[in-house]
A and B are shown apart, each in its own frame.
Chain A
Amino acid sequence: MLPMTAEEHVKEATRTGTLVHLPGLSQEAGPDRDPRLSDVDEWGRSERMRALARRLYDPLYRRWFRVEWEGLEKIPTDGGALLVANHAAALPSDAPVIMHGIEEELGRAVYGLADHLFKSIPVVGTMWSRTGGVAAHPENAYRLLREQKQLVLVFPEGAKGPGKTYAERYRLRRFGRGGFVEIAMRAGVPVVPIAVVGAEESMPILFKLPSVAKSLGLPYFPITANQLVFGPILGNVMYFPAKFKLKVLDPVHFDVPPDQERYSKSRVMDEAEDIRVSLQDTLYEMLKARQSVWFG
């Protein structure tokens, strides 16, 4: 006789009028069952939130900034890589553009490293983290790159990049202390430089109020052209429709063993400076070819 299913048991019991023991339908919840309710990962990123953000952001990316990429095929399709780019606009518009572009075109997640300051701001910090932002701590970068083989985006200029006034546009600041090169060396991944044209004009800073910034604990407090055009509230979130052009440069591989305690500081500084110079040259070349800020 074939073993009966639960339904057949019930049928049999109703027919004969006897009590039968039904086979257990639900298993006792063991500790190894996954009780998670949301899809927020250890970095605070939620793919669901990220997908929603992509859907909302897409019109801005395609119609407002009309983003164009060159050399997207140079970004590795697997394995970790550290993406570095120039940084601009009072409220940086380049990070979402790069993350959105790569995720849409290559279908790979990008984790954007940003100043810790983000995390301390209510709502903004949480949203930033859910949509792929991670605090720029060397331990975080190493774990993402080396162990999880992800794409990580970093702006080596830090807050000095977006804190430039319009008069200083497209002139790269110091690349920190070359920490990004050291992390890439330790993680054994290439650095992929990306030159961004358009971000500078999307929210240019006219002048800064250092005393206000100091009292608020911010790296800079800008008065932007957007605030003058769109008003003091909308001007803080509305970008000018500058034409975005991005160019991916050749990946830079370092021929050093990973996981070293320390790397030669002179080598690190030289590599960082080389990357900075090639980014700067590429930016100037792209600006030479640009006919119009708004139409490219």
Chain B
Amino acid sequence: MGKRVLITGLGTFWGSRIAQRLEADPDVDVIVGLDAVEPTIALERVEYVKADPSYSILSRIVKATQVDTILHTFLVVDSTHMSGRKLHEINVIGTMNLLAAAGAPESSVRQVVVKSSSLIYGSSFQDPVWFREETPRVRSPRNRVERSLLEVEGYLRDFAEDNPHVAVSLLRFSNVLGTDIVTSISKALELPLTPSILGYDPLMQFLEEDDVARAIEFVMANQVPGIYNVAGDGRLPWSEVASMCGKRLAPLPPLFTHWLTNPLGRLGVVDMPPELLDLLRYGRGIDNRRLKRAGFNYRYTSAGAVESFARAQRLRRSVGENSNPSYRYERDVENFFRHSPAVVRDPAQ
């Protein structure tokens, strides 16, 4: 019998990306995708369930579908376009409901994989060059994304302790760059001049988007419980990242930087949340060796991820943004393909 998987945040980049990859996996029988918004890419056999962002109906879904694996990809790690309340609702309350459903007495869940972020370590001048999974963060969090992620990890720790029969994997992903994903860093690198902070040239670490999906698949397939940092090898200065993308730096004043970036952000010129301003000063490095020891092979280094982004950027410059055909979710059409007796599901028979 194959796996029965539940994915949160199906409408987000990661949720849909990972769902798509799982569809190709013959060991996965059922994929249920949960989100408040509709998926933005064409999916073959994923069952989409519309849910409110804090997943109050989750325990019913878990019971009804008898899923054995939950992939929690829907943690917000970019605070720019979201109110503090909504972020709290999604990250903290959503995870709480998810774990409550997974830990119910007759629950069928045996594995939980959570996609967290290296934001959990913060970014300050007192940081070590490499954070290991056990290294405590140096300064208490000053922004709400980091605070909410810390709360989420706290819930998860309790859950893992109370449910020893469930394999709980917590993955802390570093900043992602790649061919398709849009983050505040990729947006900064799309600007004519790359914002930096005068006098600082922090060492950055990146992860290619393919390695994100591969890492989640890896921990899912091999059932490796525990906390893992996921990031490419090596670190490189922000100035070098900009020149690899063929950009020059536009230094922002080191004092009162947010006085400048906040109004510019509101005008839509730049997109610089407080956690990115910290990163552009001090950078962050996380030690990726524990996941390697568990048997995972990275395809890209940090510099390789930047290179992959730069190549995609050059392609976009030549052929325009819409090189991928757009997709719009139509409930009736998707239901027809999944459930109508008229559709031949296995042509081999």
On A, residues with C-beta under 8 Å from B are: 29, 31-32, 34-38, 40, 42-44, 116-117, 119-126, 134-135, 137-140, 143
Distance of A126 Cα from B196 Cα, bound (Å): 13
Distance of A161 Cα from B265 Cα, bound (Å): 45
Residues of A contacting B: mostly: loop
- List A contacts of B240 (CB < 8 A): 36-38, 40
- List A contacts of B103 (CB < 8 A): none
B203 at the interface (CB under 8 A from A): yes
Contact A126 B129 (CB under 8 A): no
Q: Give residues 104-150 of B contacting A (CB, 8 Å).
A: 125-132, 135
Distance of A134 Cα from B308 Cα, bound (Å): 30
- List A contacts of B311 (CB < 8 A): 29
Interface with A: B48-56, B69-77, B299-307, B341-349, which one? B299-307
User: A42-B235, A42-B285, A122-B200 are contacts. A139–B135 as well, Cβ < 8 Å?
Assistant: yes
Contact of A139 among B132, B239, B243 (CB under 8 A): B132
Distance of A37 Cα from B237 Cα, bound (Å): 10
A/B interface sample: 17 pairs, CB < 8 A:
A31-B208, A31-B307, A35-B303, A35-B307, A36-B236, A44-B129, A122-B254, A123-B199, A125-B199, A125-B200, A126-B199, A135-B126, A135-B127, A135-B128, A137-B127, A139-B128, A139-B135
B334 at the interface (CB under 8 A from A): no
- List A contacts of B135 (CB < 8 A): 139
Contact of A117 among B125, B235, B244 (CB under 8 A): B125
Question: Interface size of B by Cβ–Cβ distance < 8 Å?
Answer: 35
On B, residues with C-beta under 8 Å from A are: 125-132, 135, 197-201, 203, 208, 234-237, 239-240, 243-244, 254, 282, 285, 299-300, 303-304, 306-308, 311
Contact A116 B199 (CB under 8 A): no
Distance of A32 Cα from B198 Cα, bound (Å): 33
Q: Given A122-B254, A123-B199, A139-B132, 7 other A-B contacts at CB below 8 A?
A: A31-B208, A32-B304, A40-B240, A42-B235, A122-B200, A139-B135, A140-B128
Contact A120 B304 (CB under 8 A): no
Distance of A252 Cα from B129 Cα, bound (Å): 27
Contact of B129 among A120, A124, A143 (CB under 8 A): A143
User: A42-B285, A116-B126 are contacts. A126–B303 as well, Cβ < 8 Å?
Assistant: no
Contact B303 A34 (CB under 8 A): yes
Cβ-closest 8 pairs across A and B:
A122-B199, A139-B128, A120-B125, A35-B307, A123-B199, A137-B128, A119-B125, A116-B126
- Within the complex, the shortest CB–CB distance from A132 to chain B, in Å, comes to 13
Distance of A221 Cα from B295 Cα, bound (Å): 52
- List B contacts of A117 (CB < 8 A): 125
- List B contacts of A34 (CB < 8 A): 303
Distance of A44 Cα from B203 Cα, bound (Å): 7
Contact A126 B201 (CB under 8 A): yes
Contact B236 A38 (CB under 8 A): yes
Q: Quick one: closest B residue to A126, CB to CB?
A: B201
Contact of A135 among B129, B199, B235 (CB under 8 A): B129
Contact of B244 among A29, A37, A42 (CB under 8 A): A37
Contact of A35 among B126, B235, B306 (CB under 8 A): B306
Q: Quick one: closest B residue to A119, CB to CB?
A: B125
Contact A36 B303 (CB under 8 A): yes
Q: Quick one: closest B residue to A116, CB to CB?
A: B126
Contact B129 A42 (CB under 8 A): yes
- List A contacts of B199 (CB < 8 A): 121-126
- List B contacts of A124 (CB < 8 A): 199
- List B contacts of A126 (CB < 8 A): 199-201
Distance of A140 Cα from B199 Cα, bound (Å): 23
- List B contacts of A134 (CB < 8 A): 129
User: A40-B236, A42-B235 are contacts. A31–B304 as well, Cβ < 8 Å?
Assistant: yes
- Within the complex, the shortest CB–CB distance from A39 to chain B, in Å, comes to 10
- Within the complex, the shortest CB–CB distance from A118 to chain B, in Å, comes to 8
- List A contacts of B234 (CB < 8 A): 42
- Within the complex, the shortest CB–CB distance from B38 to chain A, in Å, comes to 33
Distance of A124 Cα from B201 Cα, bound (Å): 11
Highest count of chain A CB atoms <10 Å: which of B199, B201, B299: B201
- List A contacts of B235 (CB < 8 A): 42
- List A contacts of B304 (CB < 8 A): 31-32, 35
- List B contacts of A116 (CB < 8 A): 125-126
Contact B200 A38 (CB under 8 A): no
Contact of B300 among A31, A38, A120 (CB under 8 A): A31
Distance of A121 Cα from B260 Cα, bound (Å): 20
